[in-house]
Amino acid sequence: MTGFATLLYKEVLRFWKVAFQTVGGPVLSALLYLVVFAQVLGERVRMFGDVPYTAFLVPGLVMMSVLQNAFANSSSSLIQSKVTGNLVFVLLAPISHVEFFAAYVLAAVVRGLAVGAGVLAVTAGFVDLRVEAPLWAIAFAFLGAALAGVLGLLAGLWAEKFDQIAAFQSFLVVPLTMLSGVFYSIHSLPPAWQTVSHLNPFFYMIDGFRHGFFGAGDVAPAASLAFVAVSLAVLSALAIRLLGRGYKIRT
């Protein structure tokens, strides 16, 4: 196996060995969200004209799970290696910083999509869910997982202890996710908050992914995809540059 393939295999195996925790736990959490909101709102609320609220909620929960778990995979893996000191064995291997970047991000994508598929499989049994444009859904799921994985890699590079990763997730990733339209359409917000939502890249990922199911959204899917792609390119360039300099991983 090449260095890249070996590192990718190691990163995927790291979360898959404890899949009950890393995949099963998030799936259960998403299911509980759906059960609670379905009980409270159920058929009382309609979105995009005739879409039941519970059906509207499922793609948001799927994408939320994808983003949070992709971020968690790359960030937790890198900080764990830094804190325990075993990162040196990866750095000594004949692996370029680009291969290092690609392996961590692809592993994050695999975990994010695995959790997302699990959430979709479990929650789809509770609602009548249609898929109007599957290619849009696939594109946003993959790009969203990649962007969250890169963000997790940047957090892992910056952090020096687990507390900093937890703070990064609590004060940045969770607010960006919860305020991205997972549970609502931004058209229900006051104009000022709609403007704020349009600055949130997570909003475009979730809205574009939801468009793949219902053929409707708050923003045109092409515009959302362009915003996500540009954000991914900028963050990837930054992460690759920092890895090339050995930022906080080489002494």
* Average pLDDT for the chain: 89
* Structural domain contains residue 250: no
| pLDDT greater at residue 249 or residue 38 | 249
Q: How high is the pLDDT of residue 54? A: 83
Helices (H), 41-173: 53-84, 87-92, 97-123, 134-158, 162-168
pLDDT digits (tens, 9 = 90+) for 206-224: 999 999 998 888 889 999 9
Q: Which residues are 46's β-sheet partners?
A: 52
* Structural domain contains residue 150: yes
* Structural domain contains residue 251: no
Name which of 50-64, 197-211, 235-249 the model is least confident about: 50-64
* Structural domain contains residue 224: yes
- Evaluate whether 12 touches 110 at the Cβ level (below 8 Å): yes
- Evaluate whether 207 touches 218 at the Cβ level (below 8 Å): yes
Is the predicted pLDDT of residue 41 greater than 80, yes or no? Answer: no
Structure confidence at residue 103 as a pLDDT band (50, 70, 90):
very high
Total count of domains within the chain: 1
* Structural domain contains residue 9: yes
User: Helices H, strands E: what count in the chain?
Assistant: 12, 2
Q: How high is the pLDDT of residue 48? A: 61
* Structural domain contains residue 178: yes
Three-state secondary-structure class, residue 180: coil
* Percent with pLDDT over 70 in the chain: 95
Mean pLDDT value across residues 190-203? 85
Give the domain extent around 229: 3-245
Is the predicted pLDDT of residue 90 greater than 80, yes or no? Answer: yes
pLDDT digits (tens, 9 = 90+) for 113-132: 999 999 999 988 778 788 88
Residue with tokens 């379905």: 38
Tokens at 86, concatenated: 């075993």
Query: CA angle, corner 153, sides to 69 and 137, nearest 5?
Result: 45
Q: How high is the pLDDT of residue 130? A: 80
- Evaluate whether 143 touches 229 at the Cβ level (below 8 Å): yes
Three-state secondary-structure class, residue 52: strand
* Structural domain contains residue 8: yes
